[in-house]
Structure 1
Amino acid sequence: MANLKIFVLAVALKGLTQAAGILPDGPLNGSVGGSVMFTTSLTEADGPFDGVTWSFGVSTIIQHTPTNNLTYPAYEGRITFFPSTASLELKDLTLDDGGQYNVNVFPDRSGRTKLDVYAPVSSVTVTPQSSDLVEFSSFSLTCSSSGPSLSFIWMNSSSEVTSSDRVQITDGGSTLTVVNVTRYDEQSYRCRVFNPVSEGISDPVNILVSYGPENTKMSASPSQEFYEEGSDISLSCSADSRPSAQFTWFVNGTKLPDSGPELTLRNIQFSQRGDYSCQAFNSRTLTNETSPSILISALQKISRVSIKASTEQIIEGSSVTLTCEASGSSPSRTWKKDGSDLNLSENVTLSEDNTVLTFKAVKKENSGEYVCLVRNPVSSSEAKFTIVVNYGPENVQIEGKDLINENDQIKLICSAESTPSATFTWRLNGSEIIGSSAEFLKEKAQSSDSGTYTCEAKNTVTEKQSTAEHELHVRTGCSSGCSAGCIARIIVGCLVVAAASAGGFTVYKKRHNREPEPPPQNTEENDVYEEMSTVYQNVGK
């Protein structure tokens, strides 16, 4: 014990002459019932220490030597000492624990710091002066809480409230006043109270602001400029207002018996046409506002659309009109051809109201499907008409062989451009042939079938006709179907047989006693010619 007293005295004297400042700058903050840690800047490498003394003001907390610890009665069970760093933890804090704390580490280290102890924040409440306001009035909120050294922050639904030309925060922050209240001030407000060791927040207080009516407007469903007679129309009225506005209805300035935000017009007729409006009224602000009006009009639906042609049979080159007829209110007409917009020209024109489509001289390219679309703002309908331009026959042609052998098939095909399709008549050398189809067919040709074939095409609607001719030669006799050499041998044979009869030879000679024709140029035909000449000369001898 004597050694401990000598150590304390030595440390005290050393501390008066040299302070190393081994504690953090203060103040440190503690909460009633909580704990605080006095941590020195020393480490285990700085030890071991000859002695350590902690004190609060003039009262000793603990004295420590390598061989002994002495904790003073007021701190028994409330402290934890850490010999390796000379640090100290103080528990179960009370308001009386606030003050200056010192540590002396022998031989030459010391430090001092301050501890502030606070009671926890509790019982935070907000009291409104009024919570149901009319726009452009004022309100105040007062915040209260238990505990000393309190600070206040006001929060609305989304952020912190700060002072401005309309917002005043007074009484150390505990009172919030808002002047010229607007609808945007209608939200929840809270008060946040705090001290260095704790904080608390109040329950929300809802501020309600009555305003309006404003922005009173109405709408129609379905929304359109014109309505078909017999339609049901729903009118809706709305306004920015708190509390919700009450509504009355007017047509052409005359009040209707209906009330409420909805007005339904059923099976509307032309007689109900007019300017409709609604009026909103706020029972709290005692003001009203009337909406802009909406014109409600009814139209008759488009019906009985048809296209009528000026003639039943449309012949190329004639003048034709198509008239689009329809019933209903305010019809407008649009024409299309084969699904595309109609192209007008000097030959194809429309009347001023698009009712009559005129072809000054109709052409075959004007054939196609024509559509007249009739519409008004509430309906539409269409009619179709197909123009068939009758023309022709044109470009009459005959297809087939011009040289065949006897007993071969004759096949000739006649074609013509014509609407409707042409009928056909065949002639051979000017004489009509039985049959009227586009194809002339004979299974076995005869020599009498050689000649000029004429195909006559006729259009029964245009009453026009056109012809084409085709020359056909049918080869007959021994030469039929043989080559030039074959023909020569056949002829030679024939002449030999003929030579057996003197009479026949005489006749033959008489009939052929004339100068032979010049030889042909083709090699094979020339050989035939020479062979025939030799035979002829021998027979003649």
Structure 2
Amino acid sequence: MYQLEVPSWKLTVSVLYKSMCISACEQVFSLFTESITDIVVKSHTSEIKENDTVTLTCETKNANRIVWVRVSGSLPSDRYQSNARRTITFPSIKRSAAGDYYCEAENLASKKRSNIYTLTVNLFLSVWMERVSAISIQLIPPYPAVGQSVTLSVTGINGNIRQIMWYKGSNTDASNNILIYIPSANQPQINGLQYFSRASALPNASLLISDLEFTDGDNYTVTVQTLQPAQQTSVKLTVYEFVTDPVVKSNISIKENDPVTLTCETENAARIVWGRVSGILPSDTIVSKDNTTITFPSIKRSAAGDYYCEAENPVSKKKSNIYTLTVNSCSTAAMAGIICGTILIIVLIISVTFLLYKRYIIPLKENKQGCAKCAQDTSRVYDNILNSAEDQTSKEDPSYMGLQFRHQDGYGELKR
């Protein structure tokens, strides 16, 4: 409206606008003629788990335009970007979002591309974390024992291996690194903070551990870099010890109706099985949760027999000694007590009889034998009597000889 009425004013305004535009453009041009600094993609989350909120930042200066790119496809549909597009955010990241990302920054003077950032999304299982990847690890042998060797064999690798990194644990922190292996290097193996001399990398990305110790059991993680994006996975290594010889024991004297427990004493067993030589276990037998004991709540004589236990784990299996279970009945015990009491009484009677015999009967017999000898030896008595009479007579009448008991020698003298 003003242009039609005042043409001269229109000209003045146009000149003024042109002057102002040139001034502003010069300022804008001068602002974006500085070169873009080096670009770096960073994430403030060190370990990304599924469903976490993750933000990637494109760090640079002097850029008037930033573009985010995913190497192997389009950006996830649920991501959102800041107004200046310096950040890209995944509000609840999924495993499908894993991949290689970069950002491009440009202005009127320059254009630059960032490093490749590999976004890895981890999935936690019940006990240990399994990295999402196409590669996997197999244990050879599957059940290694103390003193043996085991190979953590990596399978599913596509392309030429450029770098291998092994970690002890479920994450790839530098403090967990065992070794780095670069096949093309003159000295391909570089030892990390968790390195131990029994571990060595193989060119196919596998890890060999020799002379296994029980403490070697842990999670092991490998990162394999080829021309494709780096792939990562973990495995649980369990080191087994051989089962010790099992022994069946019971610490009580067993009588009918008593509660009785048998114990299978062993170590390193993953499974224990009880057996009875001549049949199955009694129906009222109670087996503990870990199978280390069996209990008879009120044992019967029918439970008597030979028992054993077997202990096993994935690397060994052993059978115990045969335990003979003897059950004594109450009537048998009472009969045994009566028999023992009777025998004791008999022994006492015999002992008392012997003592009485020795004290009274033997001396009595000796006295009787002495009297019998006196009765049989009459010559001595008679001779004494005669001698006494003879002595008396001779005193009264010296010519009286008297009757005397004479020896046979005296008869010989008369013949003279």
- Compare the two structures and name the one with the higher strand fraction: 1
Q: TM-score range by the shorter chain?
A: 0.3 to 0.5
